Amino acid sequence: MSECIVCNEAITNPVCMGCVEEEIKAWLCEVKPELVEELYTKTEEIDSGFGETSCILCHNWMSVCTYCYTIHIFDWLKIRAPELSKSFRTIFNFNYFFY
Ligand SMILES: [Zn+2]
Ligand SMILES: [Zn+2]
| Residues of the chain above pLDDT 70, percent | 92
Within 8 A by CB and 6+ apart from 49, the residues are none
Q: Is residue 45 part of a domain?
A: yes
Query: Cβ–Cβ contacts within 10 Å for residue 47, how many?
Result: 18
Q: Residue 62 in 3-state DSSP?
A: strand
Total count of residues recorded for the chain: 99
Q: For the whole prediction, is pTM greater than 0.85?
A: yes
* Contact indicator for 14, 54 with CB cutoff of 8 Å: yes
Return the pLDDT at 13: 83
Which numbered ligand comes closest to the C-alpha of 16? 2
Q: Is residue 7 part of a domain?
A: no
**Which pLDDT band holds residue 79 (cuts at 50, 70, 90)?**
very high
Q: Is residue 26 part of a domain?
A: yes
Number of structural domains, the chain? 1
* Domain extent at residue 82: 17-96
* Contact indicator for 25, 16 with CB cutoff of 8 Å: no
CA 64 / ligand 1 centre spacing (Å): 5
Q: Is residue 39 part of a domain?
A: yes
Q: Is residue 1 part of a domain?
A: no
Strands 61-62 and 53-54: antiparallel
Q: Is residue 82 part of a domain?
A: yes
H/E stretch holding 54 reads strand 53-54
CA 30 / ligand 1 centre spacing (Å): 28
